[in-house]
Structure 1
Amino acid sequence: MSADTYDTDCLVIGAGAVGLACAAALARAGRDVLVVEATRGIGNGISSRNSEVIHAGIYYPTASLRRDVCVRGRRLLYAYLESRGVAHRKCGKLIVATSAAEEPQIEALYRRALENDVENMSLITGAQARALEPNLNAVSAAVSPETGIVDSHAYMLALQGEIEDAGGVLAFNAPVEGGYVSAAGYVIRIGGEAPLEIRCRVLVNAAGLDAIRIARAIEGIPAEHIPTLTLAKGSYFGCTGKPAFTRLIYPAPVEGGLGVHLTLDLGGRMRFGPDVEWLDHNDPARVDYSVDPKRAESFYAAIRRYWPALTDDALTPDYSGCRPKLSARGESAADFRIDGAEIHGIAGLVNLFGIESPGLTSSLAIAELVAKRV
C-alpha cells in the first residue's frame, strides 16, 4: 500500500442503514471490509430522512423481493435491536378506511398481508377501531400489531460498532468519483481532501440516491443493466399538542406512497407524512430538502379524514426525504434490485438499486442476500 492507494477485500459504498448492514454481514463472515461514505458520518442520506417505522410487510406484491426482504428483515431487525439494546417499540398500526368506498382497498391489503405471511393481522369494525383509538374516524380498519418504531441512528451506531469490532474500517468525506473493473477486481477513485484509489475484490454499491450515478461512473459495468432514476420527494410535518394516538395511523395508499400517515417517535411526538412530490429532474444533488409550509394545506385535508379534530395551525414544517424510485409517475411500483453477477455477469459486484421504503426494515435481510452473492 502506498500513500495514494489502498487494498481491501470488500469495499462497501454508502454508510446508510443498508450499507452498514451489508458491511457488518461481510465483517461477521471474516471478510476484510472498508466502508466509504461521501458525507461526514453515518446515516446522513435516505436513512436520516425517513419515518423510522419498522414495517410489517403488508403492501408489497407477494412474489416480490421487496416483500421477501421486508418480512425477513423485520423479524431479524427486532431480534437485533433486542440483542443490542437499541431503543424501539412494537406499537402496532391501524390502516383505516374512512368511507365505505375505501373498505375494499383495506380488505385487499389485509388479504395480501396474510399471503405475505405477516403475523397477527386482523380486520376490525369502525367501533372496534375507535375503542382502540378514541380520536379516530374510521368505518373499518386493518390492525398490524407487528409494526413498530425504532431509533434509526442508534441502530446504525450498533452496526458501525459491529463493523469496527470485527476490524472493519469506515472512511468519511470520501466521495466515489469513478473507477473501473480490473482483472483482479475493481479500482475505485475516491475524491475529497485526500484523493486515493481503492483496489478491492468485492464491491457493494449501497449508495442510495447516488447508486445509479456511481454505477454509471465505473467503467466495465454494462449500461444496459443500470436503470433510470426517478426522484420523488416526501415532506413531513410535526404536530403541536399532546399525542392523540398510541398507534401509527395509515390511510388507504396513494400513487407513489402510503398516504399521509401519522407516525410517532419514541418520545410519543406525532408527525405526519410523507406526501409524494414527483420531481422534474433526477439529480440527487439538486434536491431541495426544505419543507414548503404551503404543503400543509393538503396535509390538513388528508389527516382530517381520519382525525377530524385536528386543529388549525397545529402542523409545523419538519423535514423531508427523497425516494430513489425505479418507476416513473403513473407506472407500477418497481421492485427492489439487488443485482449480482447473475444479472450483469461481473463477479464480486452487487449493485443495490431503488432501495426506498422499507429499506430500513429490510436492511439485515438485504445484507444476508448480498453476503451470499459475493
Structure 2
Amino acid sequence: MPKSSASLLKLLKHSIRIRIKVPQSIKNFTTSAAAGYSNSIPKEKVDCVVIGAGVVGIAIARELAFKGRQVLVLDSASTFGTATSSRNSEVIHAGIYYPPNSLKAVFCVKGREMMYSYCSEHGVPHKQLGKLIVATRDSEIPKLNELLIRGTENGVDGLRMIDNSEARRMEPELQCVKALLSPVSGIVDSHSLMLSLLGEAENMGTIFSYNTTVIGGHLEGNQIHLHIIGSKNLDSWNGGDTLHPELVLVPKFVVNSAGLAAVSLAKRLIGLDHGVIPSTYYARGCYFTLSKTKPPFTHLIYPIPEDGGLGVHVTLDLDGLVKFGPNVEWIGGISDISVFLNRFDYSVCPDKADRFYPEIRKYYPSLKDGSLEPGYAGIRTKLSGPRQMPADFVIQGEEVHRVPGLVNLFGIESPGLTSSMAISQHIASRLFV
C-alpha cells in the first residue's frame, strides 16, 4: 500500500527500529549549507537509500538486499514504476546500437541474458520474437552494415544480413531493400518484471515508501544528509519558495536512481560539486496502436535510427497488440516540480497520427488511413540534445564527485529496461567490493 511521509516516519520507527519524535510543527528550513537545518526536524541514520522505484531502482534495491544490506526505497509517486519504466516499448534489446565497450553496450548485452534467464525462472511473461532492422532505400544499406559490425563487436549472437526476398518471406507485409535480423531481441511485461523484483526485495527486508519525495540534501563533512518531504506537500510549491522537510535521513549509502529527476536532485545536494553534473534534455515520445485487426507482423520491425531515438518502430505486446512509436519531440522549460512529481503531459493528440503514417509506410505500405489510434506517451531523460551524438549512461561514484557512499545514475534511458539487472549488479559491486 502506498505510504505517506507520515507513514514513512512510522515505518522507520517500527521496521528499522529507530526512535524519532515527530514535531507538532516544522520550522522554516533554509537550503543554505551554512544555516544547516532546524533541530526540531527528525534526523535518523539508515543503511542504504535508493531514490526512485523504477525498474532500475527496484533491481538495485533487490541486489543490495541480497548483499545483506537494509534498504529503503523512496519514490514520490503513489506506487512503483509510474514514469519511464511503464511508458516505453517493453523491448528486450540485443545490444546492437551502442558503441563497443560503452556502458550501454556492456550492460545491454549482459542485462539481456540476465533478463531472459530471470523471466524464465520466475514466470515473468516475455517472448523472444526477434527483430528486423530495415533499410527502405539503398542509401541506408551502409548504416545497416555499420549496425551489423557494431552489434557483432558488442557480442550480439546470431546477427545476419538478409535480402528483401528473405525478409518478405518472414514478413509478407514488409517493404525493404535489405534487413538486419536480430534473433535474440524480444519483449517483456515490464510491470510483471518490476512486481517480481520488488517482491523479492521486500522478502529480503527492503522497505518501499511511496508518496515520499527527496527534495535535496546537504553534506556535513563527507556525510550526505537527505531532505525528505511528503509528496502531497509539494502540490502548492511554486519552485522558488523555501521547502520545509519533514525528515532528514543520514544514510551510509545512497543511490540516486531518480530517473527523470536524477539531475535536478543532484543539483539540490548542497556541497556536491555541480561541475560534475551533466546537462540533461527531455524528449517526449508518442505511441499509436493499430486498430483491431490481425497483426501484420510477427517480429519487431525497426527503421534506421534517427536523431534522438530508434525511429518509429513496430512493437508487439504479449497480447498481440501492435504499437508504432515513439517519435521524438524535444521539450524544454522543465521545472524541478515537474520532474519530482512526474508532472508531464502524457496525452496523445490524434492529429499526431498524420506524421506517423508516412514514416510507417516506408516499411509498411499497406497501412490504411484511419487505422492508427492514440496509445500512450513517455518521457526520456537524455544527456545529449538535438543533433548531438548520443550519450552513454553515466554511473558516477566517489572517484568523480568525492562523496563517499553516493552513486548518481544519469541518462538511464533506453536500453535501461534491458540493462536494469546488469546495472544493479554493477552498483552493488561498486558499493560493496
Aligned residue for 1:148?
A: 186
Q: CA deviation at 1:294?
A: 1.9
Q: CA deviation at 1:7?
A: 3.0
CA distance in 2, matches of 1:247, 1:205: 36
- For residues 270-297 of structure 1, the C-alpha deviation after alignment (integer angstroms, 9 at most, x for no partner) is 0000000111323371632111222211
2:277 aligns with one of 199, 208, 226: 226
Aligned residue for 1:305?
A: 362
One-letter amino acid of the counterpart of residue 239, structure 1: L
Aligned residue for 1:317?
A: 374
One-letter amino acid of the counterpart of residue 145, structure 1: P
Sequence identity of aligned pairs in percent?
Answer: 48
Aligned residue for 1:39?
A: 77
Q: CA deviation at 1:190?
A: 1.2
Aligned residue for 1:209?
A: 260
1:75 aligns with one of 113, 116, 119: 113
Aligned residue for 2:251?
A: 200
One-letter amino acid of the counterpart of residue 206, structure 1: S
Q: 3-state DSSP class of the match of 1:175?
A: strand
Q: CA deviation at 1:269?
A: 0.7
CA distance in 1, matches of 2:309, 2:335: 20
CA distance in 1, matches of 2:152, 2:222: 46
Aligned residue for 1:266?
A: 318
Q: CA deviation at 1:184?
A: 7.1
Aligned residue for 2:207?
A: 169
Q: CA deviation at 1:5?
A: 4.1
- For residues 8-38 of structure 1, the C-alpha deviation after alignment (integer angstroms, 9 at most, x for no partner) is 2100000000001111110010011000000
Report if the CA contact (8 A) 1:231-1:281 is conserved.
Answer: no
The reply to whether residue 340 of structure 1 matches residue 391 of structure 2 is: no
Q: CA RMSD in A?
A: 1.3
Q: 3-state DSSP class of the match of 2:212?
A: coil
Corresponding residue pairs, total: 374
Report if the CA contact (8 A) 1:229-1:282 is conserved.
Answer: no
Q: 3-state DSSP class of the match of 2:418?
A: helix
TM-score in terms of structure 1 length: 0.97
Q: CA deviation at 1:63?
A: 2.6
| Structure 1 portions without partners, runs of 5+ | none
One-letter amino acid of the counterpart of residue 259, structure 2: G
- For residues 95-122 of structure 1, the C-alpha deviation after alignment (integer angstroms, 9 at most, x for no partner) is 0111111111111111111111101111
TM-score in terms of structure 2 length: 0.84
CA distance in 2, matches of 1:166, 1:225: 34
One-letter amino acid of the counterpart of residue 17, structure 1: V
The reply to whether residue 237 of structure 1 matches residue 288 of structure 2 is: yes
Q: CA deviation at 1:75?
A: 0.8
One-letter amino acid of the counterpart of residue 260, structure 2: L
1:187 aligns with one of 215, 225, 234: 225
Change in 2 beyond 3 A, CA 1:252/1:184: closer
- Answer with 1 or 2: which has the greater Rg: 2
CA distance in 1, matches of 2:331, 2:217: 29
Report if the CA contact (8 A) 2:58-2:194 is conserved.
Answer: yes
CA distance in 1, matches of 2:113, 2:85: 19
- For residues 43-74 of structure 1, the C-alpha deviation after alignment (integer angstroms, 9 at most, x for no partner) is 00110110100000000011311111111111
The reply to whether residue 276 of structure 1 matches residue 328 of structure 2 is: yes
CA distance in 2, matches of 1:265, 1:283: 33
One-letter amino acid of the counterpart of residue 425, structure 2: E
CA distance in 2, matches of 1:355, 1:249: 23
CA distance in 2, matches of 1:102, 1:328: 23
The reply to whether residue 331 of structure 1 matches residue 388 of structure 2 is: yes
CA distance in 2, matches of 1:178, 1:256: 29
- For residues 153-206 of structure 1, the C-alpha deviation after alignment (integer angstroms, 9 at most, x for no partner) is 010011111111111100000011111123473221111169322221100000
Report if the CA contact (8 A) 2:222-2:404 is conserved.
Answer: no
Which range is displaced more, 218-227 or 48-57? 218-227
Q: 3-state DSSP class of the match of 2:377?
A: strand
Change in 2 beyond 3 A, CA 1:184/1:108: closer
Q: CA deviation at 1:229?
A: 1.2
